[in-house]
Structures are given as C-alpha cells and as structure tokens.
Amino acid sequence: MTGPGPLRVLLVEDHALVRAAVRHALDAADDLEVVGETATAEAAATMIDELRPDVVLLDIDLPGMRGTELVRELAPRYPETWIVMLTVSRQERDLLDSIRAGARGYLSKDLDPDALVRSVRAVRDGVMPMTRRHASLLITRFADAMPRHQSVGVTALPELTVRENEVLGLLADGMTDREISVALVVSRRTVESHVRNILEKLDVESRLEAARIYRRRHDAP
C-alpha cells in the first residue's frame, strides 16, 4: 500500500499515558514511524490533511466528537489512509458502527506491544488489523445479514463467475464495498476489482443498473 519506507502512523488518543505507551511500542519498530499525535478529533482532522499518514490509530471516545463520527467524515476524503480504531470498548455496536463508518481495523488497547506492532504492520499487506474475536464477530454478523439465496455455486448470471455473482448479489442487497469485503473475507480493493469486471461484462455503467439486472434474472421463474 505504500513505498519502501516505514509506515507513517498518526495517534489520536486523549489519554496521555495511553498515547505515550502506544507511541513507545511503535517507536521500537524500525518499519513504523509515528509522525504525529493529538488528543482531539478536531486536531486530528487537520493533521491528517497535513501529514497524510498511512495509518491513523483512533480512540472511539474522544472529547467533543465520537471517533466513529470522525471516521465517517474522514474515510471518504482520505481513502489511502487506513483508519484503525484503538479502544477499550467491548460493545458489539461500537465495532459494527466503526466498520460501517469506514474504519479499516479495530484493535483493543489491552493488546501487548508486540501484537500491536504486528497488527499495524499487517496494513502493508492489505490485512485489516483486528483481533480474531472481532473478525469472527464481524463475519458472523454480516453472514447473518446475507440473504439465503447467496450460497456457494449460485450463478444467477452465467456470464459472471461464482464470486462475481456473490459480490453482485450482496451489492444488490444494499451492502457497501466495505461490508462485502468483510462478509467475503477479501480486501476492499478486491471487491472494487470484481465490481469493475461485473460492469464491463454486463455492459452497464453503474452499480444500480447491474443490481437491477441481477434482481431481474434471479427472481425470474
């Protein structure tokens, strides 16, 4: 996702001791560089624009603005920056809201330093930084939300591959690229690539047109 240099990280955490501990852990890794830190969402928005970090480690509970609100505002503006939540929250709703808002990872503050470093490093390979428990929960929730007709081998549109049918079926059911990527356990870029191929094969210009074709053929007797 980046050049050969270290991954550039911005810390957004209002507790000074936690921020110092996280910075200490990341500074110990040669391939990670903390380029800035702040305690507020307002300052974070400015710093992201100025520094263009590769990764933002963001607390959910910030003074003045929830971290999820900040993600919703910034993720579309800086698609190359991975915003990763770093929180003590164990609420399922916080996890789901964060990912739906645009976060590309979700980590607990009780991670040991080595695990934190490994998780941040994973961004370089396009892997969402997330504990196994959180990943399992997300997959379960999105799988539950998938319609029953989305089963392996379904080829409602024979001109598409099985995977492309799966992607288009989820798209037709209103899921975002990010939600599809979590449901299918692939990267968002992979989903975007599938969508481009789908539009080309169906000779349409929009996802809406492709979704209409899918629903029409799938529902046909």
pLDDT digits (tens, 9 = 90+) for 142-184: 666 555 444 444 457 889 888 888 899 888 888 888 778 777 7
Q: Report the alpha-carbon distance of residue 88 to residue 213 in Å, rounded.
A: 44
pLDDT in tens, 11-45: 999 999 999 999 999 999 999 999 999 999 889 99
d(CA 95, CA 101): 10
How would CATH label the architecture of 7-140? 3-Layer(aba) Sandwich (3.40)
Per-position b or e across 14-52, b if 16+ CB within 10 A of its CB: eeeeebeebbebbeebeebebbbbbbebeebbebbeeee
pLDDT in tens, 70-125: 998 898 889 889 999 998 887 888 888 888 888 999 998 888 999 999 999 989 88
For the chain, state the CA radius of gyration: 19
- For 134-153, the pLDDT digits (tens) are 777 777 776 665 554 444 44
Instruction: Sketch the domain layout of the chain as residue ranges.
Output: 7-140, 146-219
CATH code that applies to domain 146-219: 1.10.10.10
Residue 68 sits at φ, ψ, to 5 deg, of: -65, -35
How many other CB atoms sit within 10 Å of the CB of residue 178?
18
